[in-house]
């Protein structure tokens, strides 16, 4: 058996992943996949979560890439998906990368268009999720205190 070659950078789902990281944390570097989802994917594929990403073989990288591109094929529960009951189709999806950013931006634009409370807050550039705004979230330059001339 040949000695395993270590790679410092691995490309999965259009993202460069550092080879020194353990597998769940390496997969969490992909936008749209968190540590919990990464652990679920790794367990379903039968990989070791303690393994470093740099020791993955080409075949394992290919299996991970296929699993990440469509998590529904793995048979994971729907509560792990990041887009349940999609607004347009009504189905459960799990989006990654640019697709996730695109859909989130489109959701915000829809809220602005229909004039919902969240849409108005987005439009005005204010906090959306009920945070305090009296003392935080101020924009613009700070004005300091000036001393009086003697």
DSSP at 74: G
Model confidence pLDDT, tens digit, residues 15-26 = 999 999 999 999
- φ, ψ (nearest 5 deg) of residue 62: -65, -45
H or E, element range at 16 = strand 15-18
Instruction: Confirm whether 133 is domain-assigned.
Output: no
Q: Do the domain assignments include residue 127?
A: no
The answer, as to whether pTM is greater than 0.85, is no
Q: Does residue 4 carry a pLDDT above 50?
A: yes
Q: What pLDDT, on a 0 to 100 scale, did the predictor assign at position 119?
A: 95
Which pLDDT value is given to residue 1? 43
CA–CA gap between residue 66 and residue 54 (Å, rounded): 18
Domain of residue 22, residue span: 9-78
In a domain, 39, yes or no: yes
Inform me whether the pLDDT recorded for 145 exceeds 80.
no
Nearest alpha-carbon partner for 28 in 7, 13, 46, 44 = 13
Main-chain phi, psi angles of 22, to 5 degrees: -70, 155
Q: In total, how many domains does the chain have? A: 1
Average pLDDT over residues 38-53: 93
Residue 33, in any domain of the structure: yes
Instruction: Specify the higher pLDDT residue, 138 or 47.
Output: 47
Q: What is the pLDDT of residue 3?
A: 59
134 domain-assigned: no
Average pLDDT value for the chain: 89
Q: What is the CATH number of the domain that holds 44?
A: 1.10.8.50
Residue 37: predicted pLDDT: 92
68-72, 96-100, 103-107, 144-148: least confidently modelled range? 144-148
Residue 139 forms part of a structural domain: no
Q: Answer yes or no: is 31 within a domain.
A: yes
Q: Which of 60, 72, 80 is closest to 17 using CA atoms? A: 60
Quick: pLDDT tens for 49-96: 999 999 999 999 999 999 998 888 888 888 989 888 988 888 888 999
Domain assignment present for 19: yes
Q: When comparing pLDDT for 146 and 72, which is higher?
A: 72
Q: Cα-flanking dihedrals φ and ψ of residue 93, to 5°?
A: -135, 160
pLDDT of residue 113: 96
**Chain centre distance of CA 30:** 6
């Amino acid at each position: 058996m040949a000695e395993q070659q270590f790679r410092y950078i691995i490309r999965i789902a259009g993202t460069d992943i550092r080879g020194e990281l353990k597998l769940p944390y390496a997969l969490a570097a992909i936008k749209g996949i968190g540590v919990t989802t990464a652990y679920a994917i790794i367990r379903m594929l039968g990989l070791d979560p303690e393994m470093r990403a740099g020791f993955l073989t080409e075949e394992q990288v290919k299996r991970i890439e296929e699993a990440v591109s469509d998590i529904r094929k793995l048979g994971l529960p729907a509560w792990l998906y990041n887009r349940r009951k999609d607004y347009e189709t009504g189905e459960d999806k799990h989006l990654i990368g640019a697709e996730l950013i695109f859909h989130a931006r489109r959701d915000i634009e829809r809220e602005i268009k229909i004039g919902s409370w969240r849409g108005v807050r987005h439009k005005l550039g204010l906090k959306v999720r009920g945070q305090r705004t009296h003392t935080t979230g101020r924009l613009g330059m700070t004005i300091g205190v000036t001393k009086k001339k003697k």
